[in-house]
Amino acid sequence: MTIIAFLLVLSLLVFVHEFGHFIVAKLTGIKVEEFGFGYPPRILTIARRGGTEYTLNAIPFGGFVRMLGEEDPSHPDSFAAKSKLTRAAALLAGPAMNMLLAIALFAAMFAIGFSAPIEGAGAVIYWVEPDSPAARAGLQVGDTILQIDDVVLQETIDLRECVTRKAGEEITLIVRRGGEVLPTPLRLTPRVNPPEGQGAMGVRYGPPLAKVSYPWWQAILLGFRHVFALLGAMFMFLVEMLRGVMVLEVAGPIGIAQIIGESVKSGLVDLIDRTASLSVSLAIFNLIPFPALDGGRLAFIALEALRRGKRVAPEKEGLIHLVGLAILIGLMLVVSYNDIVRLLSGQPILPP
């Protein structure tokens, strides 16, 4: 299920991205030689229309758009032969479509309904680490801890204070599950030295939750607001990272697959939320001014403008993008190796 969900999500994100390039290229007269579903080797050609081959390829996720003459301006219908504004529009269309997809997904999430924190006593369990004290005691996601020993939890923070104070000692939990208090209290011993990122009990918890939903017109506005809030958070994180306050944690394909798998277990709304966030991340990543990315190609257009129309030689630009692609593949392999090491050691792919 995790592999299927990962392929579906990645296919959606990449397909939408490439469709943005495709539709703007078609509208501006750039010849699109191939629109591929999946990645080569090719299995079959589905159709040939308007000078474009629509192909089905063997690697079953994502897709690609192959435009005529991406570095060669010799043909009038090639990408490189078009004006700077046209080329920039075709490149920006991919990230723009990812942003629109994120807005649509967030809007769907707000319309369907999602769990939001509300005021109330107790602490709700959001996640239980496997083989932790909480897991062995029988705590489940969605349980509400009402009382620890003789302390009634008036606020979520009360749980941390109780558990910290009684680390290494057995504690008794009064738990509500499915609207009813369990007849038998649960018992566990918080760890004094828990694994990094797991906590003494091995849970992630927060305030009580309630389902909240909005009408479609309001959900769309909230989708816009949420995307811009996410962009603001990413920008602030970048600033803090450059200041050395925060460290960048990156997940590769294997890590993303695990994250999506966890979202599937949590339900449709969490999967929609995660997919929308990944779509925003993909848009921002592609705008980084690095060779082979959309941002790298945009950087060459900006350089051309600064040089008053004088271009970098096509063969040189093509070589730079090829080297950039090789570096990106290398980085992906390194990150994937780190993901595998973390999985085998039982560490989380990304901090909770």
Q: How far apart are CA 109 and CA 211, in angstroms?
A: 11
Length of the chain: 352
Q: How far apart are CA 265 and CA 207, in angstroms?
A: 21
- Catalogue all structural domains in the chain, each as residue range(s) with its CATH number: 2-113+246-345 (no CATH), 116-211 (2.30.42.10)
**Beta bridge mates, 36:** 55, 64
pLDDT at 352 over 60: no
**With DSSP H G I counted as helix, E B as strand and the rest as coil, what are the percentages for the chain, rounded to 5?**
50, 20, 30
> Average of pLDDT values for 214-225?
94
pLDDT at 215 over 80: yes
Per-residue model confidence (pLDDT) at position 197: 75
Strands 203-206 and 180-181, bridge-based pairing: unpaired
**Higher per-residue confidence, 105 vs 292:** 105
pTM metric for this prediction: 0.77
**Beta bridge mates, 188:** 171
Strands 151-152 and 171-177, bridge-based pairing: unpaired
DSSP 51: T
Contact (Cβ atoms closer than 8 angstroms) between residue 146 and residue 176:
yes
**240 is an active site residue:** no
105: amino acid identity, one letter: L
Q: How confident is the model at residue 233 (pLDDT cuts 50, 70, 90)?
A: confident
Per-residue model confidence (pLDDT) at position 61: 62
Q: Cis before residue 40, ω within 30 degrees of 0?
A: no
Residues 6+ apart with CB under 8 A from 341: none
Per-residue model confidence (pLDDT) at position 83: 92
The one catalytic residue among 18, 70, 71, 317: 18
HSE (CB half, 13 Å, CA atoms) of 205?
24
Determine how many CB atoms are found less than 10 A away from the CB of residue 242: 9
Residues 6+ apart with CB under 8 A from 333: none
Q: Give, for 142, the enclosing helix (H) or strand (E).
A: none
Q: Which residue has the tokens 């509300």?
A: 118
Per-residue model confidence (pLDDT) at position 70: 80
Question: Mind listing the pLDDT tens digit for each residue in 17-62?
Answer: 999 999 999 999 999 999 988 778 899 999 999 889 999 888 766 6
Q: How far apart are CA 123 and CA 156, in angstroms?
A: 5
Strands 123-128 and 151-152, bridge-based pairing: unpaired
For every residue of 88-109, DSSP letters joined together read: HHHHHHHHHHHHHHHHHHHHHH
Q: Give, for 261, the enclosing helix (H) or strand (E).
A: helix 253-266
Q: How confident is the model at residue 157 (pLDDT cuts 50, 70, 90)?
A: confident
pLDDT at 128 over 70: yes
Question: Mind listing the pLDDT tens digit for each residue in 246-269?
Answer: 656 666 677 777 778 878 877 888
